[in-house]
């Protein structure tokens, strides 16, 4: 075994990948050859340098999100995001929602106007629904080519016609939509964006929900209820038969600006 | 993305494939030399992988398969566009032409002392002077791919991977002397 052979095997020897007999032969050569002993030490040093100091360049989060959105997870290729999520956590969520929302009616103790109990349930529901949108790998069932593309997509998928006066602009572009749920009813989910902040708008039938009567503010032409929960700002309002829940981690003032565009 | 997004094969491969995105991006970054091109290269790699998902053989090394797609994508879409002054790579130069000084350096204990003082930016800069192929085999080896897997990625015989890696590492040591002094 000459020096060239030995140097070819040095890396394998460091990693314990040589057969015992070959490893003994390599080490014997290294012990009696100064040049190969130097190479042996230098290869060790180089390995340490590469493993410990070579800068690593992991994929940026934005790229990961793009890829995740484009390549569905197993079993998720065709199913909408919301039914999939519901199957996973439906029992716990259903129990919580029943207790939080339905119990007052069942017990005949509907929250008094302005007490805020019902409003808390709606706020919690809105935040949870927004989180599902954020965590879903495929939150949008229809990508936005503008409100005139998104709105017709809901036809036949909901038992009401969502009224959305604002179709997005440069500051708050509309990203797309999906069908979801709000409490016990189907909802149109529209996702907008402000810089890097996603904004979810849920539109649903307003009847039978414990809308807060006090603690509101005027946004545009409607009485709205705004509250912060778990770092998210929620704006609730109703117009005619439809209810609206707007949720984002956006600055509350900016979200109010956005809400004013929505209410028209 | 291609039309394979909704196929069963594509969906089944999806989550596992995405687990390797950091490793793929790291190699892409060292091949392209900048973050933006690396992003594009990785995105194109996944797009091609998705289209070819049905050709992936379950049970074989998915990571190596993705690396091969990335390398082929790089060769076809990026490498030809570059105007690389060291195209071909310093490590492809005949070792004898490196001169007596280099041989002396590689036998000198100073090399060991200075190798130990190299900082992150210097090892990165030295690596970037090597050929695409040399960088690829060094990084794939660092990723823990076997010689068989590296051979599949770079498209060579298994028997030549060991010698290519040895040459690449020797070339890197030669480059590092410029940063270590």
pLDDT digits 0-9 by tens, A50-103: 988 899 898 888 888 888 877 655 444 433 434 443 444 444 444 444 444 444
Q: Which residue has the tokens 């959305």?
A: A164
Q: Do A47 and A67 fall into the same domain? A: no
Number of domains making up chain B: 2
**CATH code, domain carrying B117:** 1.10.10.10
Backbone angles phi, psi at B70, to 5 degrees: -60, -45
Residue A253: exposure state from Cβ atoms within 10 A (0-12, 13-18, ≥19): exposed
Last residue in a domain, options B31, B50, B81: B81
The answer to whether residue A58 sits within a structural domain is no
Answer whether B10 sits within 8 Å of A53, measured CB to CB.
no
Work out the pLDDT band at B79, boundaries 50, 70, 90: low
Tell me which H or E stretch contains A218.
Answer: strand A216-219
Mean pLDDT of chain A: 79
CB atoms within 10 A of CB A38: 17
Domain that holds residue B32: 3-81
Give the pLDDT band of residue B60 (cuts 50, 70, 90). confident
| pLDDT over threshold 60, residue A108 | no
Taking the Cβ of residue B96 and every Cβ of chain A, the question of whether any pair is shorter than 8 Å is answered with no
Residue the block writes with tokens 């002396």 = B104
In terms of domains, do A69 and A198 share one?
yes
Q: Are A25 and A121 part of one and the same domain? A: no
Q: Looking at residue B20, what is its pLDDT?
A: 87
Confidence (pLDDT) at B109: 65
- In this structure, the answer to whether residues A122 and A26 fall within a common structural domain is no
- B172 and B98 within one domain: yes
Q: What CATH number is given to the structural domain containing A136?
A: 3.30.200.100
Who wins on pLDDT, A28 or A175? A28
The C-alpha atoms of residue B66 and residue B84 are separated, in whole angstroms, by: 25
Place of tokens 């936005």: A144
Angle at A141 between CA A79 and CA A251, to 5 degrees: 125
Residues B71 and B106 reside in one and the same domain: no
B154 & B122 share domain: yes
On whether residue B87 sits in a domain, the answer given is no
**Residue of B4, B16, B18, B126 to mutate for A, most A C-beta atoms under 10 A:** B18
Arithmetic mean of pLDDT, A207-217 = 79
In a domain, B89, yes or no: no
Residue A80 distance to chain B (closest CA, Å): 12
Q: What are the φ and ψ backbone dihedral angles of A7, each rounded to 5 degrees?
A: -65, -30
Rounded to two decimals, the pTM is: 0.53
| A window 46-85, beta carbon within 8 A of B | 46, 49-51, 53-60, 63-64, 66-68, 70-78
Using alpha carbons only, how large is chain A's radius of gyration in Å? 30
Task: State residue B140's pLDDT score.
Answer: 95
DSSP class of residue A104? H
Domain count, chain A: 2
Q: What is the mean pLDDT of chain B?
A: 79
Whether residue A144 has pLDDT greater than 50: yes
pLDDT for the residue numbered B83 = 46
Domain membership of residue A41 as a residue range: 3-53
Q: Are residues B72 and B98 in the same domain?
A: no
Whether residue A264 has pLDDT greater than 80: no
Name A233's bridge partners: A228, A248
In this structure, are A217 and A94 located in the same domain?
A: yes
């Amino acid at each position: 075994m000459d020096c060239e052979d030995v140097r070819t095997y040095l890396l394998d020897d460091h990693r314990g990948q040589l057969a015992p007999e070959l490893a003994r032969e390599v080490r014997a050569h290294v012990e009696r050859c100064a040049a190969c002993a130097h190479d042996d030490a230098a290869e060790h040093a180089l390995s340490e340098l590469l493993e410990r100091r070579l800068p690593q360049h992991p994929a940026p989060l934005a790229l990961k999100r793009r890829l995740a959105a484009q390549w569905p997870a197993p079993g998720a290729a065709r199913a909408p995001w919301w039914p999939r999520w519901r199957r996973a956590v439906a029992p716990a969520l259903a129990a919580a929602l029943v207790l939080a929302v339905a119990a007052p009616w069942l017990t005949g103790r509907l929250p008094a106007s302005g007490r805020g109990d019902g409003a808390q349930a709606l706020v919690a529901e809105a935040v949870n629904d927004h989180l599902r949108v954020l965590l879903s790998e495929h939150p949008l069932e229809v990508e936005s080519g503008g409100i005139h593309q998104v709105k017709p997509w809901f036809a036949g998928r909901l038992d009401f016609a969502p009224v959305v006066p604002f179709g997005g602009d440069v500051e708050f572009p509309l990203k797309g939509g999906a069908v979801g749920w709000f409490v016990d009813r189907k909802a149109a989910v529209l996702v907008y964006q402000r810089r890097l902040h996603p904004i979810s708008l849920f539109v649903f039938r307003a009847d039978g929900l414990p809308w807060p009567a006090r603690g509101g503010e005027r946004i545009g032409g409607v009485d709205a209820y705004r509250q912060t929960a778990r770092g998210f700002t929620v704006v609730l309002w109703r117009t005619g038969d439809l209810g609206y829940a707007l949720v984002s981690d956006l600055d509350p003032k900016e979200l109010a600006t956005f809400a004013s565009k929505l209410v028209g | 993305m291609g039309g394979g997004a909704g196929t069963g094969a594509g969906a089944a491969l999806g989550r596992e494939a995405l687990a390797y995105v950091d490793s793929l991006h790291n190699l892409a970054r060292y091949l392209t030399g900048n973050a933006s091109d690396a992003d594009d290269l990785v995105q194109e790699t996944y797009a091609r992988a998705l289209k070819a998902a049905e050709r992936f053989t379950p049970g074989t090394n998915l990571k190596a398969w993705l690396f091969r797609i990335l390398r082929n994508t790089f060769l076809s879409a990026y490498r030809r566009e570059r105007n690389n002054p060291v195209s071909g790579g310093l490590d492809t130069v005949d070792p004898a032409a490196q001169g007596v000084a280099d041989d002396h350096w590689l036998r000198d204990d100073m090399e060991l002392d200075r190798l130990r003082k190299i900082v992150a930016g210097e090892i990165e800069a030295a690596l970037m002077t090597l050929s695409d192929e040399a960088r690829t085999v060094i990084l794939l080896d660092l990723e823990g791919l076997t010689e068989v897997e590296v051979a599949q990625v770079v498209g060579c015989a298994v028997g030549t991977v060991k010698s290519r890696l040895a040459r690449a590492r020797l070339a890197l040591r030669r480059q590092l002397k410029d940063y270590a002094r």
